[in-house]
Amino acid sequence: MTVKVLLTGFEPYLTYTTNPSGELAIRFNGKEIAGADVVGRVLPVQHQVSASAAHEYIMTEKPDIVIATGIAASKGCVALENIAINRYLFKSKEEDIDEELYKDGKDVYMSTLPLEAIKGHLQAKGIPAEYSFTADTYISNEVFYEVMRSAEEMDIKKAGLIHIPLSHVQVVDMMHVHHVTRLGIPSMDMNTLENAIRIAITEAVKDQ
Domain boundaries, the chain: 4-205
Angle, CA 103 vertex, CA 100 and CA 108 arms, to 5°: 65
For 4-205, the fitting CATH number among 3.40.630.20, 3.30.420.10, 3.40.440.10, 3.40.50.150 is 3.40.630.20
Q: Where are the alpha helices (DSSP H) in the chain?
A: 20-28, 49-61, 115-124, 139-154, 168-172, 179-182, 190-205
pLDDT (tens place) for every residue of the chain, 208 residues total:
799 999 999 999 988 889 999 999 999 999 999 999 999 999 999 999 999 999 999 999 999 999 999 999 889 999 999 999 999 998 776 678 889 999 999 999 999 999 999 999 999 999 999 999 999 999 999 999 999 999 999 999 999 999 999 999 998 887 777 666 667 789 999 999 999 999 999 999 998 8
Say what the alpha-carbon torsion angle 165, 91, 105, 73 is, to the nearest 10 degrees. Answer: 0
Distance, in Å, from the CA atom of 45 to the CA atom of 139, rounded to the nearest integer, reads 7
Check: CB of residue 143 under 8 Å from CB of residue 49: no
pTM of the model: 0.94
